[in-house]
Amino acid sequence: MRLLSSASNRVVLTLVTLAIGSLLLGDFASVQANRIVPGSGFGLFAALGSAWAVALLAALVTLAALALHPSPAGYRGMLLLISLLLLQWPASLAWFIHTQIPADQAQARAGLATGCWSLLFFALLLLIEVRQRLAPAAGWWRLGPLGLLLVTGLLIYSGYLEPLALLREYSSRSAQFWQALRGHLGLVGGALGFSLLFGVALALLIRRQPQLQRSVFGVLNFFQTIPSLALFGLLIAPLSYLAAHSPLLQQLGIRGIGWAPALLALVAYSLLPIVRNTSVALQAVAAEVIESARGMGMSPWQVFSQVRLPLALPVILEGMRITSIQAIGLTAVAALIGAEGFGSFIFQGLGQGAMDLVLLGALPTIVLALLADALFSALARYFQPGVG
Amino acid sequence: MSARPMIELDNVSRLFEGVAAVDGISLRIDSGEICVIVGTSGCGKSTTLRLLNKLIDCSSGDIRIDGQAIAQLDAQRLRRRMGYAIQNTGLFPHWTVARNISVVPRLLNWPTERIEARVHELLELLGLPHADFAHKFPSQLSGGQAQRVGVARALAGDPDILLMDEPFGALDPITRDSLQNELLRIQSRIHKTIVFVTHDIDEALKLATRIVVMDQGRIVQHDTPVNLLNHPANAFVESLLGQGERGLKRASLQRVAERMLPLQGTPPAFSVAAQDSLRQALSLMLWHRVGELCVRDNEGRAVGLLPISALLHGATA
């Protein structure tokens, strides 16, 4: 029997090979005596000890063996192994900290290196692949990632992960962190709110006056082509001028830098997806549905609010999904012109060469984008017509 | 004529960019009629229908519904008094069957219990059990079921008038046939005034009490199906009827019961039902190669004799 048959799951085999390779070739984690000095790297065996390292590799090899001749039972076994890999991930970090960092060194910090990141990354990809093969009955694929979050949370809460560089950066800036979160969400929410208001109004205007369509989309497309940094920069001068000559604007806190130019730029970028999706969605409602709504005796407002808008809603929500993800990313960049948000950590970290501070800004930004994606996708599914 | 005129059109025209889609038509439709407007594409039949519920306004002329000129009526109120069913149903995809049917009753602000009772009643009337269908969405229905819901929705506000624009046009022949029978069955119970637009002359002959043939925006002929077959007004109506099929079409409009003779002696071996059409009887004779059939009633009793000569003679209307 050939080792690699046509039935083998090559995706799993490739991912496992890459995971093993990065665990063996790269550092697993590192230790710094304090924030300034360069850290020293630890390979897999040095970081976790032989027993843990061998068990980890054995689990990966078993996974590969199961993928050679996969069966439904084999896939369930793979899912179990992947869930265990995810669960042990925060535990292995805690174990590394426990064995390598003396408790009396308050400045010493542990960093995550290639091996550690790749293991998490490949384990999640493996989860996606195996979950598809097990569809549709295996709802317990969620146990792995949920357990990962739970164990990580517990370990953070109980202080075992305290010496992680990321958490050290957080604990010295916890007040700023929550301030940044509020600032980030405030800007994104404000941009989304304003662009929804103006975007829907513009879309309705285009429906009334189709000859405006070309020019409206021309202007909005033009905004999209301006690089975000340039647009932020371009807004500083006019806003400074306006603020300097208007006490009212000064009282509102509008200045050439800060949230005002950031919000304006975000709204400018957000309008295109909202206007485009809204006008396309409103136009795409089937003519015979509108015809019968009118024929039943609905008023124009009832046709719009009860028929056209609800049928267009999933596509409008899709526009809001794109807009919110885009705005979350752009808000990070807006830190450069003094807007609050996670971007300030990223740029500070880049300036100081402190990658963990960069991560403290980047990771929450990514999480926010993923949450916005999930939220609006779920809303669009919920409002999908005719799904009971 | 004792019947009350329900819909009257008086010299009605509708121009689109100077071209008359409907050109000076006058028409009277009595209460309880099924008036079928038939014609080729672009003859103005759908436009005429949409003039009745003011989806389109007349360019000139008067339309009266139940004696009231519709020019003076509010369009939305007028439409709520008329059922409207169209091709491809136009069901609202985001609402359940029950919610779709309740559209007009809700617009009329009926109390909730009355709406629920009405939805229940209509689903049963259309042969869609409430428990199975009320909570389905249109995407979960077959074409025939969806069109039944469309008809139920049109009937929901208990309108006097039902406007139907090629409602069965997109259905397969078998489903269409069963829905046509369904419509005749329902009409025999509810006695609405129905204006029905189609391009299918067989559908028109089957359903209509009177047929309006339209061509280039004008009414070519307005008559009962039998008269239309016997006395087509011009070559256009003749071609619409299909020259070679006219005899069979007329035969399909007449019942065996109208032509049967008293039973004498031993009944023939092959039978036909009294309510079947002469066309079906002729087909049976051709198939079995016999010259006479035994006529049986609903209970299967032999009640008469149908010789082939009865098809040829007998009163023509």
Is there a contact between B137 and A307 if contact means CB atoms under 8 Å apart?
no
- Asked if residues A101 and A110 have their Cβ atoms less than 8 Å apart, the reply is yes
- For residue A330, the domain's CATH number is 1.10.3720.10
* Residue A310 within a domain: yes
pLDDT of A1 higher than 50: no
Contact assignment for A386 to B137 by CB distance below 8 Å: yes
Task: Clarify whether residues A198 and A264 are in a common domain.
Answer: yes
Evaluate if residue A14 carries a pLDDT over 50: yes
**CATH homologous superfamily of B5-249:** P-loop containing nucleotide triphosphate hydrolases (3.40.50.300)
Same domain for A187 and A284?
A: yes
What is d(CA B252, CA B205) in angstroms, rounded to the nearest whole number?
Answer: 9
Pick from A288, A291, A296 the residue to mutate for testing the B interface (most B CBs within 10 Å): A296
Q: What is the DSSP code (8-state) at residue A28?
A: S
A194 and A160 within one domain: no
Q: Which residues of B touch A387 (CB under 8 A)?
A: 137
Are A291 and B88 a contacting pair at CB < 8 A?
no
A285 part of a folded domain: yes
With an 8 Å Cβ cutoff, is A301 touching chain B?
no
User: How far is Cα of residue A117 from the mean position of the Cα atoms in its chain?
Assistant: 16
Closest CA to A5 of A74, A93, A58: A74
Co-location of A179 and A157 in the same domain: no
Over residues B215-223, mean pLDDT: 92
The closest alpha carbon to A81, from A16, A171, A4, A166, belongs to A16
Q: Which residue in the set B79, B94, B138 is minimally distant from A297, CB to CB?
A: B79
Name A66's Cβ contacts closer than 8 Å, sequence gap at least 6: A74, A75, A77, A78, A81
Nearest to B77 among A291, A292, A297 (CB): A297
How far apart, in Å, are the Cα atoms of B175 and each of A232, B147, B180, B182?
Answer: 63, 10, 9, 10
Q: How far apart are CA A141 and CA A94, in angstroms?
A: 24
> Percent of chain B scored above 90 by pLDDT?
59
A307 and A333 fall within a common domain: yes
CA-nearest of B310, B309, B305, B308 to B294 is B305
* Domain end among A141, A166, A191: A166
In chain B, what residues touch A310 (CB-CB under 8 Å)? 94
To test the contact with chain A by mutation, choose from B92, B104, B145, B153 the residue with the greatest count of A C-beta atoms within 10 A, namely: B92
Q: Which residue of B has its CA nearest to A383?
A: B94
Q: Model's pTM, two decimal places?
A: 0.76
Determine contact: A305 vs chain B, CB below 8 A: no
Q: Which of A307, A339, A24, A63 is nearest to A186 (CA)?
A: A339
Q: Which residues of A touch B107 (CB under 8 A)?
A: 296-298, 302
Best of A289, A292, A381 to mutate (most B CBs within 10 Å, chain B): A292
CB proximity list for B215: less than 8 A, separation 6 or greater:
B39, B40, B43, B236
Residue type, A164: L
pLDDT at B1 exceeding the cut of 50 = no
Residues of A in contact with B138 (CB under 8 A): 386
Closest CA to A193 of A35, A46, A327, A8: A327
Q: Taking each helix axis from N to C terminus, what angle separates A355-382 and A174-208, rounded to the nearest 10 degrees?
A: 40
Confidence of residue B148 (pLDDT cuts 50, 70, 90): very high
List of residues 6+ apart from B17 with CB closer than 8 A: none
Query: Would the CB atoms of B90 and A310 count as touching at under 8 Å?
Result: no
Q: Are A127 and A141 in contact (CB under 8 A)?
A: yes
Pick the residue from chain A with its C-alpha nearest to B155: A296
Residue B317 has pLDDT above 80, yes or no: no
Q: Is pLDDT of A347 > 60? A: yes
Cβ-proximal residues to B101 (8 Å cutoff; 6+ apart), any chain: B118, B119, B122, B123, B149, B152, B153, B156
Yes or no, beta carbons of B94 and A385 under 8 Å apart: yes
The count of domains in chain A is: 2
In this predicted model, what pLDDT tens digit does every residue of B149-201 receive, in sequence order? 999 999 999 999 999 999 998 888 888 888 999 899 999 988 999 999 999 99
Residue A1 in domain:
no
Position A6 confidence tier, pLDDT thresholds 50, 70, 90: low
Residue where a domain stops, chosen among A166, A188, A223: A166
- Nearest residue in A to B100, CA atom: A293
Looking at residue B316, what is its pLDDT? 46
CA distance A77 to A85: 12
A208 and A329 in a single domain? The answer is yes
Kindly list the residues from chain B whose CB atom is less than 8 angstroms away from the CB atom of residue A293: 90, 92, 103
Of A211-220, A375-384, B98-107, B301-310, which one has max mean pLDDT?
A: B98-107
Closest CB from B78, B91, B107 relative to A298: B107
Q: Over the stretch B82-122, which tens digit does the pLDDT of each residue have?
A: 999 998 888 999 999 999 999 999 999 999 999 999 999 99
Provide ipTM, 2 decimals. 0.82
Taking 3-state DSSP, the helix, strand and coil percentages for chain A, each rounded to the nearest 5, stand at 80, 5, 20
Among A233, A140, A183, A149, CA closest to A341: A183
What is the spatial order of strands in the sheet that B302-307 belongs to? B271-273, B292-296, B302-307
**Opening angle at CA A362, ends A361 and A367, nearest 5:** 110
- Quote the Cα angle for A96-A367-A182, to 5°: 110
For A290, the closest chain B residue by CA position comes to B90
Q: Residue holding tokens 């059939």?
A: B293
pLDDT band at B220 (very low <50, low <70, confident <90, very high): very high
A259 inside domain: yes
Rounded to whole angstroms, how far apart are CA atoms A33 and A144? 33
From chain B, the residues in CB contact with A382 under 8 A are none
CB atoms within 10 A of CB B2: 4
Among candidate residues B310, B313, B303, the one with its CA nearest the CA of residue B282: B310
Cβ–Cβ below 8 Å for B94 and A294: no
A5 within some domain:
no
User: Does a structural domain hold residue A387?
Assistant: no
pLDDT score of A135: 65
End-to-end CA distance of chain B: 18
Interface of B with A in 52-111 (CB under 8 A): 53, 55, 75-80, 84, 86-94, 96, 103-104, 107
Read off the amino acid at residue B286. Answer: L
- Which pLDDT value is given to residue A137? 60
Nearest to A307 by CA among B103, B88, B92: B92
- The answer to whether A289 contacts B90, with C-beta atoms less than 8 Å apart, is yes
Q: Which residues 258-287 of chain A have a CB within 8 Å of chain B?
A: 286
- Reported as a pLDDT band with limits 50, 70 and 90, residue A386 is low
The 8-class DSSP code of residue A303 comes to I
**A-B contacts at Cβ under 8 angstroms:** 71
Tell whether the model's pLDDT for residue A252 goes beyond 80: no
What does DSSP say about strands B60-65 and B271-273: parallel, antiparallel, or unpaired? unpaired
Does residue A4 belong to any structural domain of this protein? no
Tokens representing B212?
A: 């309006």
Q: Which residues contact B260 (CB under 8 A, 6 or more apart)?
A: B274, B295, B303, B304, B305, B306, B310
State how far Cα B167 lies from the chain centre. 10
Burial of B36 (0-12, 13-18, 19+ CB in 10 A): buried
Mean predicted confidence (pLDDT) in A325-351: 89
Q: Are residues A197 and A110 in the same domain?
A: no
Last residue within a domain, chosen from A140, A166, A192: A166
Point out the least confidently predicted range of A48-52, A196-200, A354-358, B10-14: A354-358
> What is the Cα–Cα distance from A89 to A367, expressed in whole angstroms?
19
Give the pLDDT confidence score for residue A100 in this predicted structure: 86
Determine the average pLDDT of the residues in A153-178: 86
Q: Which of A154, A147, A129, A135 lies closest to A88 in space, CA to CA?
A: A147
pLDDT of residue A35: 75
Cα Rg of chain A, angstroms? 26
Q: Percent of chain A, pLDDT > 70? A: 97
Listed by start position, the domains of chain B span 5-249, 255-312
B21-71: per-residue pLDDT in tens?
Answer: 999 999 999 999 999 999 988 899 999 999 999 999 999 999 999 989 999
A86-135 pLDDT tens trace: 999 999 999 998 888 887 777 788 888 888 989 999 999 998 888 888 76
Q: Which helix (H) or strand (E) holds B228?
A: helix B225-230
The pLDDT confidence band at residue A388, using thresholds 50, 70 and 90, is: very low
Parent domain of A283:
174-382
Residue B18, Cβ neighbours under 10 Å: how many? 5
Determine the Cα–Cα distance for residues A158 and A312; give it in Å rounded to an integer. Answer: 48
Are residues A241 and A374 both part of a single domain?
yes
In a domain, A2, yes or no: no
pLDDT greater than 80 at residue B233: yes
- DSSP summary character for residue B243: G
> Same domain, yes or no, for A145 and A258?
no
Cβ contact B156:B119 at 8 Å? yes
Tell whether A121 and A17 lie within a shared domain.
Answer: yes
- What is the C-alpha to C-alpha distance for residues B63 and B70, in angstroms, rounded to an integer? 6
Domain B255-312 top-level CATH class: alpha beta
